Structure 1
Amino acid sequence: MNLFQNGIDVSRYQGSINWNNVAAAGKQFAIVRLGSSNTSGLYVDPYFLQNVNGAHAAGLRVGAYYYTYATSESAVINELSLFLNVLEGLQLEYPVFVDVEDNKLAALGRTQLTGLVQYAMDILYQRNWYAGWYSYTNFINNYLNPSQLSGYPLWLADYRSQPGYTGNHAMWQYSSTGSVSGITGACDLNYSYTDFLPLLKAGNYNGYGTSGPDMETVDGIQLVVFGAQTEYFYTANFNDVVGYLPVGTYPVVQKSKDKYNGYEWVIFRYRDGEYWTAILGDRNRLETLNSCEVQLSEAKAKIDAAKAALE
């Protein structure tokens, strides 16, 4: 098979990642964990959005996976009810994978377990997410019917020099002990043999086919920037950076009706133009103004624009 891209997969266990260093090390994609379950129940990986946005900002393509413990269709629905909500508004260049490998699932038998994996992927497809499955060679051979899942991309884990699995696979996780600049400790290393992006765009999957968040015009709202690291953008795209906003207040002209790329977005006036930014609680916030405050805010914006024209 022809190699398309080199990549990694990560979760909360890698902690905070320097994604620019990861990109400089030659990694081109990242599959990021959405979440899993523990003794307290289902949970979203606390680093999920941070990793998705960080990888995108560094120029990597991104996909997602979740570790399933589902032993019934109702359990599949419970898992996806949480994880689909987290995916809302995101745009991903790789599939959303169902990670099926836990030994507790083996007792279900091939037929039932394979049916549950397919059921999960079908729900993802119905919600316009390009779905795939992840597992390792021995688990596939002993507990799944891979021929039933052959229409879905397989992300195969096999740490031998060549995979022992003889079926088709779109990606290969070839190591769990990789060392990559920007990441503390070990991480998984992967090869991708498939360019998923044309497929996603053609089918309007994974947030493609939409040009951005659904916006509504607002009045009497201002953006308050109190953190020095608030980036602003030409569009609702984290790769389309203009620069950093100075601490201060800015009149908002539109805001998103729903979250997009995991965040609420606004269009605001700054100097002589209108720009985008995402609302981040540790850097900025929105405030509602009364009529007098609105007039003052608009006047200040005009003064700032006039000053900028003289610079």
Structure 2
Amino acid sequence: MQTFDSSKHLIGLDISQYQGTVNFKKIKENGASWVICRTYGTDHRGNGDTRFEQNVKNARAAGLKVGTYYFATPKVPLDLQDARNQAQQFIDKIIFGTGNGNDFGDLIPMLDIEDDTGHVGEGQSIRLLKVSELIQWILEFRRYFEDATQTRLGIYCSSFFWNEQMRNGLPTANPIKDMPLWIAEYTKYWPDGKKSPNNFGGWTSWHIWQHREDGDGRYWGCESEKVDLNYSLSLEAICEKN
């Protein structure tokens, strides 16, 4: 992955209802350029993140660019109609939040793929799918989303998830490696001297890097004690939606 240089990267936060009431003006004043707001977490039965719509409105009013993400919970056994249903749920929530059927956010929308063990019902864990099945599910979600919105879809994941929990990861020919990558890899776990996130799954660069899960929420205007912190290479890179 590209070597990190804090002077050349922009700061962004990912926000959900767990941050409580958020002062987005303070986020902007403290140096962030953008936020990514959660649409749905692990529970897809209701109306999703309870603060999404308000977060989108307030973030934009503060002059921040706004992106969206959706926590995937694929059914087991593999069900491609489920992928289409979840993609449509993501689309509907974004439209409801932006108030415009042609507005899918300022940034590349992101599909969150990670270990959901302990968060979903028995028989529903993403880890019960074969790697090939998970890839099929992601590809169908992506196809449906991009066809319906004419907007490029990115993916959030960690090197640990792919390399360890997904049975030693994927081959270099990974068919989703062209999806813009939002990588989760926390510097607090790095050995001395490490300068950049790991290559994995065929990806050799990232669009967004979530480097902390324990940022000072109060400093950043959040009601919560902690907030995730991210870097982007440039606004142009993460706004490249088509």
TM-score band (shorter)?
0.7 to 0.9
Q: Determine the structure 2 residue equivalent to 1:58.
A: 62
Q: Determine the structure 1 residue equivalent to 2:121.
A: none
CA displacement at 1:42 relative to structure 2: 4.8
Please tell me the residue identity of whatever aligns with 2:208.
M
Which among 178, 185, 189 is matched to residue 158 of structure 1? 185
User: Aligned equivalents of 1:199 and 1:42: distance in 2?
Assistant: 31
| Length-normalised TM-score, structure 2 | 0.75
> Once the two structures are superposed, what CA deviation does each residue of 1:136-177 show, in whole Å capped at 9, x if it has no partner?
111122425372211110100011344234432211100000
Q: Determine the structure 2 residue equivalent to 1:118.
A: 139
User: Aligned equivalents of 2:42 and 2:229: distance in 1?
Assistant: 24
RMSD: 2.1
Greater C-alpha Rg? 1
Q: Determine the structure 2 residue equivalent to 1:193.
A: 233
* Residue 92 (str. 1) matches residue 119 (str. 2): no
> Once the two structures are superposed, what CA deviation does each residue of 1:199-252 show, in whole Å capped at 9, x if it has no partner?
33xx4xxxxxxxxxxxxxxxxxxxxxxxxxxxxxxxxxxxxxxxxxxxxxxxxx
Q: Determine the structure 2 residue equivalent to 1:288.
A: none
Contact (CA 8 Å) 2:113, 2:156: kept in 1 or not? yes
Which among 38, 50, 53 is matched to residue 49 of structure 1? 53
CA displacement at 1:4 relative to structure 2: 4.1
Q: Whose RCO is larger (CA < 8 A, sep 6+)?
A: 2
What is the DSSP-based 3-state SS (H/G/I as helix, E as strand, rest coil) of the residue aligned with 1:17?
coil
5+ unaligned residues in a row in structure 1: which ranges?
204-311
Contact (CA 8 Å) 1:76, 1:116: kept in 2 or not? yes
What is the DSSP-based 3-state SS (H/G/I as helix, E as strand, rest coil) of the residue aligned with 2:35?
strand
User: Aligned equivalents of 2:42 and 2:185: distance in 1?
Assistant: 24
| Length-normalised TM-score, structure 1 | 0.60
Question: What are the within-5 Å matches in structure 2 for residues 1-311 of structure 1?
Answer: 1=2, 3-38=8-43, 41-71=45-75, 72-88=79-95, 89=100, 90-101=103-114, 102-103=116-117, 104-127=125-148, 128-142=150-164, 143=166, 145=170, 147-160=174-187, 161=190, 162-166=196-200, 167=203, 168-179=205-216, 180-184=219-223, 185-194=225-234, 195-196=236-237, 199-200=240-241, 203=242
User: Aligned equivalents of 2:177 and 2:220: distance in 1?
Assistant: 35
Change (3 A) 1:17 1:65: same
CA displacement at 1:91 relative to structure 2: 4.7
Contact (CA 8 Å) 2:207, 2:238: kept in 1 or not? no
What is the DSSP-based 3-state SS (H/G/I as helix, E as strand, rest coil) of the residue aligned with 1:134?
strand
CA displacement at 1:78 relative to structure 2: 2.1
Higher percent of residues as strand:
1
Instruction: Give aligned pairs, total.
Output: 200
Contact (CA 8 Å) 1:44, 1:83: kept in 2 or not? no
What is the DSSP-based 3-state SS (H/G/I as helix, E as strand, rest coil) of the residue aligned with 1:13?
helix
5+ unaligned residues in a row in structure 2: which ranges?
118-124, 191-195
Percent sequence identity over matched residues? 25
User: Aligned equivalents of 2:29 and 2:86: distance in 1?
Assistant: 35
User: Aligned equivalents of 2:60 and 2:126: distance in 1?
Assistant: 34
